[in-house]
Structure 1
Amino acid sequence: MILTVTPNPSLDRTYEIPALDRGAVLRATVERMDPGAKGVNVSRAVAAAGHRTVAVLPLGGAPGALVAQLLAGQGIDVAPVPIAGATRSNIALAEPDGTLTKINAPGPELTPAESEALLSALDDRAVAAGDWIAYRGSLPRGLDPPLVRPTR
């Protein structure tokens, strides 16, 4: 089993557009929403390969609820840590020629109590010998290194 820790997850919204015309009103031809961030992507790849994974991540607001729902729908066990702020939403604009323009939000600021809850959730999900923990992605405001501490 692989446990992933994603301290700054996101709801990634991708819009396919005919062309990026700065300053114009653009109409998307396709909209897609995916759970995102580096650790989440590791869990998604592990689950797609048919292996068990648990995603530990702080989630808040409607975007956080949607991230949890989308992950569960992909067969990923979610260990959410409730936070007061809303999970960040990132935007990608995809053009037919393959050009991708991304705008990544900074994400919510975690309180000291939320940071401690994230570490406690990690402790609670500590894996057995032979299993793996993957810490991936950016740190949200309010969570300073080191994220890693000895587990039981």
Structure 2
Amino acid sequence: MIVTVTMNPAIDKTVDIDRLERGDLNRIKRVELDAGGKGINVSKTIKELGGKSIATGFVGGINGTIIKHVLADQGIETDFVEVNGETRTNLKVVEENGEVTELNEPGPEVSKEQLEDLLKRLDGYAGPETLFVLAGSIPKGIPTDIYRRITESAHRKGAKVLLDADGPLFSESLKAAPDMLKPNRSELERYYRMDYRASEQELVTMGLGLLDNGTHMAVISMGQMGAVFLTREKQYRCPGLLVKAHSTVGAGDALVGAMAYGWDEKLPLEDCIRLCMGASAGAVTSIGTKPPSRELVDELAKKAELLEIRK
């Protein structure tokens, strides 16, 4: 069972323009609306790959109702906690050259009672066959150690955790040794307080360091340069796949979705890696935050190149 946790979901509004002109009129060529938030995007990818998940977190107001209805229409099970206020809308401005500017709202405040409600629901799902995907930012009212607390609670019942977060959420969670991690290059550089762009070998060394406390797998995404997949037993570098990109929005979420699906299906590591690369590359061809089709993922996965890293 896969349970995705989106503490701060959103309606993703993606607009296409020729070029962003600051302080001037910008005419929009196309608008796409999607139910979004990192965990929700993961659930959408899992569904497109043929798997199942339960999407949880907090929703509120009209936008929250829209998100629940959209996911239900897509055949995705949900178990959200209702909060006061309105679920946020995130604006993503995509220029013709592929550059993306994101304007993300903070989201509604969550009470202690609502947080406890969610934690009880998650505890009810926890078990040896459960994977929790903890992804994205948190709204007001949630402490930055929340992902660590969920990870510790999940581990007490034998459940697994896949973490995709940044900043204090990431560093705090490492104290509880999530089973899988998916930082990107910039997030890892910030965690290690680097003031320069890390080399690929440095990224590998830093990634392997994340495995020292009990984490089983770390995947470092590097944008168009590809990704590095690290376990204690095997390490692979995978160059980015050449595709006609619309924007990079959602590529990391698609990769996480493929990781979770691969875990649930008990895929061999190499097969899971190929699926991850296909899903990530496919996502950048999509409009908005829609997941790539399974057909496209499989087609791209065949082109993935796994280069073993020698220690």
With the length of structure 1 as denominator, give the TM-score of the two structures: 0.90
- Give 1:18-97 correspondences, 5 Å limit: 18-97=18-97
Distance in 2, Cα, partners of 1:74 & 1:27: 31
CA contact (8 A) 2:84 2:109 kept: no
Question: What does residue 143 of structure 1 align with?
Answer: 142
Contact conserved, 1:57 with 1:80, CA < 8 A, in 2? Answer: yes
The alpha carbon displacement at 1:130 in A equals 2.1
Q: Give yes or no for contact 1:81–1:121 (8 Å, CA) kept in 2.
A: no
Query: SS of the residue aligned with 1:86?
Result: coil
RMSD: 1.7
Greater strand share, 1 or 2? Answer: 1
* Greater mean deviation of Cα atoms: 88-97 or 70-79: 70-79
Shift in Å, 1:121: 2.5
Q: Contact 1:3/1:127 (CA < 8 Å) preserved in 2?
A: no
Offset from partner CA, 1:30-49 (integer Å, 9 cap, x none): 11111222211211111111
Is the 8 Å Cα contact of residues 61 and 84 (structure 1) preserved in structure 2? yes
| Residue pair 2:13, 2:34 contacting (<8 A) in 1 also | yes
Shift of the alpha carbon at 1:83? 0.4
Q: Structure 1 stretches of 5 or more lacking a match?
A: none
> Normalising by the residue count of structure 2, what TM-score does the alignment of the two structures yield?
0.46
Q: How does 1:121-132 map to 2 (within 5 A)?
A: 121-124=121-124, 126-132=125-131
Give how far 1:70 is off.
Answer: 2.0
Question: SS where residue 71 of structure 1 aligns?
Answer: helix
Find the aligned partners of 2:14 and 2:31 in 1 and give their Cα distance: 6
Provide the identity percentage: 35
Aligned to 1:106: 106
Indicate the structure (1 or 2) with the bigger Cα radius of gyration: 2
Which residues of structure 2 form unaligned runs of 5+?
158-311
The letter for the 1-side match of 2:63 is P
- What number of residue pairs does the alignment pair up? 151
Report 1 or 2 for greater relative contact order, CA contacts < 8 Å, sequence distance ≥ 6. 1
Given that 1:60 and 1:82 are in contact with CA atoms closer than 8 Å, whether structure 2 keeps it comes out as yes
Q: What is the CA deviation profile of residues 120-147 of structure 1, one whole-angstrom value per residue up to 9, with x for unaligned ones?
A: 22234x0543231111111211111234
Residue 73 of structure 1: how far off its partner (Å):
2.5
